[in-house]
């Protein structure tokens, strides 16, 4: 009885005070595999529900990173020997990176800005402020509720009737904090900048922003586990496996390839298409627009610019144009700081992955231009991109978006 009380007390304590998971002495390994056998070993490991965290998907095109708890070091060393891969210890203590991600500013009182990462409440409060300040051109859309009851929110900037729509979807993966930071920076530029090119973008297009798709996961990544990726709906039978990968949950070749059937895996596709209220609501919200010409999904990290398809290596009918627009975007991104992106269709550039938003929008919503950005960096900090890189990342991405729209106009998509 005493034991039970103690457990209850501990749970109560954890829930009430949101004790954060720590990653003391977790190692980050950078891994390069160059054959299918090596790749298979890591894919098996990822499926096995071990406590090793895959920071990105194993693939043979570029290095990927894994996070290894101290008690798993012996196991992973065995696997390294067996699979003959190239490995390197990138960080000895992951917790240190987490501790250094945000500026140590004791004066922070919850004010919004781009010098640090913010939680959902602060972001929504800033949106409300903007909605009030720019009420003639900026409108609010509450398009649903999350599993945990949070508002799913979008804003639409429209300066004149009949504009084509550009849709920006951000933070469908909870731990990718730089995505919402960049989305809000860009929205602020569209509202306030004097730059002629930005004014043109703001005047000639309607811009829909969903700053945080995965609101529950995002809140959890702030309160409990900085590395949380999925939604927060517990599996119906295996209760300790929580969440699905919302970017594998869309109803186009759902669960075909590059998505897991293991409810504990990071890329679990969910029991059925749109099983997650957050993805269903987003899909229904997208369906309310009949004039989306360009759909963009913000992710981090890896410095990639990807377009459909992910479920198959088959090229889309306008593959050449998607690539050409992508190349122009890549060149524009590199101009300011030299940041190098790689461009290509998901399946060939990086890995097969089905059920993503950009595939679904492309294939079922008749939108010919859909892209995924994977922002900075290439694994040095990964998801823990220091906050002083929010503005540089935003500036180079905006350079890229300007070029993307310009080239899409030249090819008469817009
Ligand atoms: Zn992502």
Of the pLDDT bands very low, low, confident and very high (cuts 50, 70, 90), residue 189 is very high
211 CA → ligand 1 middle, Å: 14
Identify whether residues 194 and 68 lie together within a single domain. Answer: no
Identify whether residues 382 and 277 lie together within a single domain. Answer: yes
373 CA → ligand 1 middle, Å: 9
Identify the domain boundary among 100, 129, 163.
100
Identify whether residues 317 and 397 lie together within a single domain. Answer: yes
97 CA → ligand 1 middle, Å: 19
- Percent of the chain whose pLDDT exceeds 90: 82
Taking all residues of the chain, what is their mean pLDDT, rounded to a whole number? 93
pLDDT tens digits along 347-392: 999 999 999 999 999 999 999 999 999 999 999 999 999 999 999 9
Number of domains into which the chain is organized: 2
Average pLDDT over every residue of 326-339: 98
Identify the domain boundary among 66, 100, 134.
100
pLDDT tens digits along 285-297: 999 999 999 999 9
Secondary structure class of 293 (helix, strand, coil): strand
176 is a catalytic site residue? no
> Does residue 241 belong to any structural domain of this protein?
no
Identify whether residues 14 and 72 lie together within a single domain. Answer: yes
> Does residue 162 belong to any structural domain of this protein?
yes
Identify whether residues 50 and 20 lie together within a single domain. Answer: yes
Write 35-43 long-range contacts (CB < 8 A, 24+).
Answer: 35/60, 36/60, 37/83, 38/83, 38/84, 38/85, 41/79, 41/82, 41/83, 41/85, 42/66, 42/79, 42/83, 42/85
> Does residue 356 belong to any structural domain of this protein?
yes
HEC string of 347-380 equals: HHHCCCCCCCHHHHHHHHCCCCEEEEEEECCCCC
299 CA → ligand 1 middle, Å: 4
Cα separation, 65 vs 55, in Å, equals: 5
Residue 124 CA, distance from chain mean position? 18
**Structural contact between residues 301 and 182, judged by C-beta atoms closer than 8 angstroms:** no
Identify whether residues 260 and 203 lie together within a single domain. Answer: yes
Name the residue range of residue 89's domain.
2-100
pLDDT tens digits along 260-312: 898 988 899 999 999 999 999 999 999 999 999 999 999 999 999 999 999 99
In the prediction, which pLDDT does 11 show? 39
Identify whether residues 311 and 359 lie together within a single domain. Answer: yes
Identify whether residues 127 and 63 lie together within a single domain. Answer: no
What is the domain-level CATH number for residue 9? 3.30.70.340
In the prediction, which pLDDT does 3 show? 35
In the prediction, which pLDDT does 378 show? 96
Of the pLDDT bands very low, low, confident and very high (cuts 50, 70, 90), residue 194 is very high
> Does residue 212 belong to any structural domain of this protein?
yes
Average pLDDT over every residue of 80-103: 93
Identify whether residues 34 and 157 lie together within a single domain. Answer: no
Closest CA to 287 of 143, 137, 142, 138: 143
Beta strands in 244-334 (DSSP E): 292-300, 304-307
In the prediction, which pLDDT does 197 show? 97
> Does residue 240 belong to any structural domain of this protein?
no
Identify whether residues 82 and 217 lie together within a single domain. Answer: no
Identify whether residues 173 and 204 lie together within a single domain. Answer: yes
In the prediction, which pLDDT does 107 show? 72
> Does residue 105 belong to any structural domain of this protein?
no
Of the pLDDT bands very low, low, confident and very high (cuts 50, 70, 90), residue 219 is very high
Identify whether residues 141 and 47 lie together within a single domain. Answer: no
173 CA → ligand 1 middle, Å: 5
Average pLDDT over every residue of 64-73: 95
Catalytic residue among 41, 176, 276, 374: 374
In the prediction, which pLDDT does 82 show? 85
Average pLDDT over every residue of 57-71: 93
In the prediction, which pLDDT does 97 show? 95
> Does residue 239 belong to any structural domain of this protein?
no
pLDDT tens digits along 5-47: 333 333 344 444 458 999 999 999 999 998 888 898 998 888 8
In the prediction, which pLDDT does 9 show? 38
**Structural contact between residues 32 and 23, judged by C-beta atoms closer than 8 angstroms:** no
What is the domain-level CATH number for residue 320? 3.40.630.10
Cα separation, 387 vs 292, in Å, equals: 32
37 CA → ligand 1 middle, Å: 26
> Does residue 110 belong to any structural domain of this protein?
no
Q: What is the DSSP string of 3-24?
A: HHHHHHHHHHHHHHHTPPP--T
Residue 344 is encoded by which pair of tokens?
Answer: 């290509």
Closest CA to 208 of 165, 260, 261: 165
Residue predicted with more confidence, 17 or 398: 398
In the prediction, which pLDDT does 325 show? 98
Identify the domain boundary among 70, 100, 130.
100
pLDDT tens digits along 114-154: 999 999 999 999 999 999 999 999 999 999 999 999 999 99
In the prediction, which pLDDT does 239 show? 85
């Amino acid at each position: 009885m005493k034991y039970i009380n103690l457990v209850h007390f501990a749970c109560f304590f954890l829930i009430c005070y949101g004790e954060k998971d720590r990653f003391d002495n977790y190692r980050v390994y950078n891994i390069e595999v160059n054959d299918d056998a090596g790749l298979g070993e890591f894919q098996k490991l990822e499926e096995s529900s071990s406590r090793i965290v895959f920071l990105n998907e194993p693939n043979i095109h570029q290095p990927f990173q894994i996070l290894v708890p101290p008690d798993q070091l012996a196991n992973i060393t065995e696997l390294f020997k067996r699979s003959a891969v190239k490995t390197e210890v990138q960080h000895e203590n992951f917790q240190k990176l987490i501790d250094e991600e945000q500026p140590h500013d004791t004066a922070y009182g919850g004010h919004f800005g781009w010098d640090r990462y913010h939680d959902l409440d602060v972001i929504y409060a800033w949106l409300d402020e903007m909605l009030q300040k720019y009420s003639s051109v900026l409108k609010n859309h509450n398009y649903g509720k999350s599993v945990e009851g949070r508002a799913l929110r979008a804003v639409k900037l429209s300066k004149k009737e009949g504009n084509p729509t550009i849709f920006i979807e951000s933070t469908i993966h909870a731990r990718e904090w730089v995505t919402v930071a960049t989305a809000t920076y860009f929205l602020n530029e569209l509202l306030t900048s004097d730059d002629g090119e930005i004014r043109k973008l703001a005047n000639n297009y309607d811009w829909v922003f969903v700053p945080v798709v995965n609101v529950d996961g995002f809140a959890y990544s702030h309160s409990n586990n900085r590395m949380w990726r999925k939604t927060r709906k517990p599996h119906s039978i295996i209760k300790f496996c929580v969440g699905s990968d919302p970017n594998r949950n869309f109803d186009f070749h759902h669960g075909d390839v590059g998505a897991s059937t293991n409810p504990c895996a990071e890329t679990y596709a969910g029991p059925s298409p749109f099983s997650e209220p957050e993805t269903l609501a987003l899909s229904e919200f997208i369906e309310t627009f009949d004039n989306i010409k360009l759909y963009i999904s913000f992710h981090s990290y890896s410095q990639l610019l990807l377009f459909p398809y992910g479920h198959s290596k088959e090229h889309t009918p306008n593959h050449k144009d998607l690539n050409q627009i992508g190349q122009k975007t890549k060149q524009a991104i590199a101009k300011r700081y030299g940041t190098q992106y790689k461009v290509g269709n998901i399946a060939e550039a990086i890995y097969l992955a089905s059920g993503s938003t950009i595939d679904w929008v492309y294939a079922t919503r008749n939108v010919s231009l859909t892209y995924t950005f994977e922002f900075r960096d290439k694994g040095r900090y990964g998801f823990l991109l220091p906050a002083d890189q929010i503005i540089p990342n935003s500036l180079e991405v905006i350079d890229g978006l300007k070029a993307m729209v310009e080239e899409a106009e030249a090819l008469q998509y817009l």
